[in-house]
Amino acid sequence: MNWPWPVWIAHRGGGLTAPENTLAALRAGARAGFRMVEFDVMLSADGMPVLMHDDTLERTTNGRGPVSAQDLAALRMLDAGAWQGSAYAGERIPTLDEALDLLCELDLDANIEIKPAPGFSALTGVTVAREVARRWPADRRPPLLSSFDEDALAAAAATAPALPRGLLFEQVPDDWARRMQGHRAVSVHCDHRLLDAARLQALIDAGVPVLCYTVNDATRARGLLAAGVRGLFTDRLDLPEAV
C-alpha cells in the first residue's frame, strides 16, 4: 500500500523529553518537528478513556494502585509530571478527547495504542474506537489504532471499521499473515530487537508496512530504514537529525 503516515513517530508523545502520555509530551513532540506521535489509552473505573501506559499509577503519577480502580475525577487530581522534574509538576492525566483536540490543534498524526487493563479488552477497544470515530474530523488523515490485545483490536474494528489498525507484537509470529487478514490490519508493529532480516523481508515482499519500536540508535535506525521499514518509534527527539 502507499503508506501515508510519517516515518518518525515520537514514542508516548514526547519520548524522554517530557512526561509520557501527557499533553506536555504531545507538545514536546510537535516542537521537536515530529509530525506523528504515539500514545497509550486505557479506561478509568467509570469507563473514561485516558492516556496511560501502565496498569498501575505508581511509576508516572503520585497515585497508587490500578488505573482501572479510579474514576476520572480521582485520576484528574493526580500529578503526572513531577516525576520527570519540577518544570512539569502539576501536569495532569489527559483524557483521550483532550489529546484528540490537541492533535488537531498541532496538526499531528497519531498512533493510538489501545492498552486495556486486565478484564477490559473489548470495552476498551470499543470505547477508544468510538471516541476517535466520533471526534476526529472527516477531512483529516485518521489516527492509526494498534494493540497487543487482539480482543481489543477486534472490538475496535467492529465498532469503527473505517479506522485503520496495526497489529502489534513483540516478535512477529509465524502466522502473522493469517492474523493480519483476520483483523483486516494495515500494518505490523514490532520490537526491532526481535525482528530478523528474513521475517522483515517476508513482510516487505507481501507488501506489509512494518513499524518498529523503540529505536533510539542512529545506526540501527539507518539500517532498518534501508531494509524497508516504514516507521520508527523513538524516545530520542533528536534522532531524525542524527540519521
Say whether 53 is catalytic: yes
Distance in angstroms (rounded) separating the CA atoms of residues 176 and 181? 9
Q: Is there a contact between 141 and 4 (Cβ–Cβ < 8 Å)?
A: yes
Known active-site residue 11: yes
In which element (H, E) is residue 40 found? strand 36-43
The answer to whether residues 114 and 53 touch, using CB atoms and an 8 Å cutoff, is no
**What is the DSSP secondary-structure string of 135-186?**
HS-TTSPPPEEEES-HHHHHHHHHH-TTS-EEEE-SS--TTHHHHHHHHT-S
Place of cell 502473522: 176
Find the catalytic residue in 11, 183, 189, 192: 11
Per the residue annotation, which of 53, 183, 189, 192 is the catalytic one? 53
CB 75 within 8 A of CB 67: yes
Positions annotated as catalytic residues are: 11, 53
